[in-house]
Structure 1
Amino acid sequence: MKKLKMKSILMGFGFLIIMYGLMTTKPSDEETFKKYLVQYSDLTDPYSAQVRLSKVNANQTRFCGQINGKNTFGAYVGWTHFFAEKYVDGTGKERFFLDLRKSVAGIPPYALASDVIRTFCG
Structure 2
Amino acid sequence: MKRLALVALAGIVLAGCGDGDIDRARKAAAYHLKDPESAQFRNDRVVGKDGTVCGEVNGKNSLGAYVGFSKYVALRKDDGSYMALVDADGQSSLVSSTCD
Match among 59, 78, 91 for residue 68 of structure 2: 78
Identity, % of aligned positions: 26
Output the CA distance in 2 between the equivalents of 1:12 and 1:99: 47
Q: Which residue of 2 aligns with 1:42?
A: 32
Please say if residues 25 and 83 of structure 2, whose CA atoms lie closer than 8 Å, have aligned partners that are also in contact.
no
Contact 2:22 / 2:44 at 8 angstroms: preserved in 1? no
Distance (Å, rounded) in 2 between the aligned partners of 1:60 and 1:19: 28
Count, aligned residues: 100
Could you tell me which of 65, 72, 81 is aligned with 2:55?
Answer: 65
Instruction: Determine the structure 2 residue equivalent to 1:97.
Output: 84
Query: 1:36 Cα deviation (Å)?
Result: 3.4
Task: Give the unaligned 5+ runs of structure 2.
Answer: none
User: Which of 1 and 2 has greater Rg?
Assistant: 1
- C-alpha spacing 1:11/1:59, structure 2 compared with 1 (3 Å): farther
Does the Cα contact within 8 Å between 2:25 and 2:82 map onto a contact in 1? no
Scaled by the length of structure 2, what TM-score is found?
A: 0.65
TM-score (norm 1): 0.57
* Equivalent position SS for 1:42: coil
Tell me if the contact between 1:68 and 1:79 (Cα under 8 Å) persists in the aligned partners. Answer: yes
SS of equivalent to 2:77:
strand
Question: Are residues 1:19 and 2:6 paired?
Answer: no
| Superposed CA RMSD | 3.5
- Bigger relative CO (Cα 8 Å, ≥ 6 apart): 2
Where in structure 1 are there 5+ consecutive unaligned residues? Answer: 1-8, 104-108
8 Å contact 1:30–1:51 — kept in the other structure? no
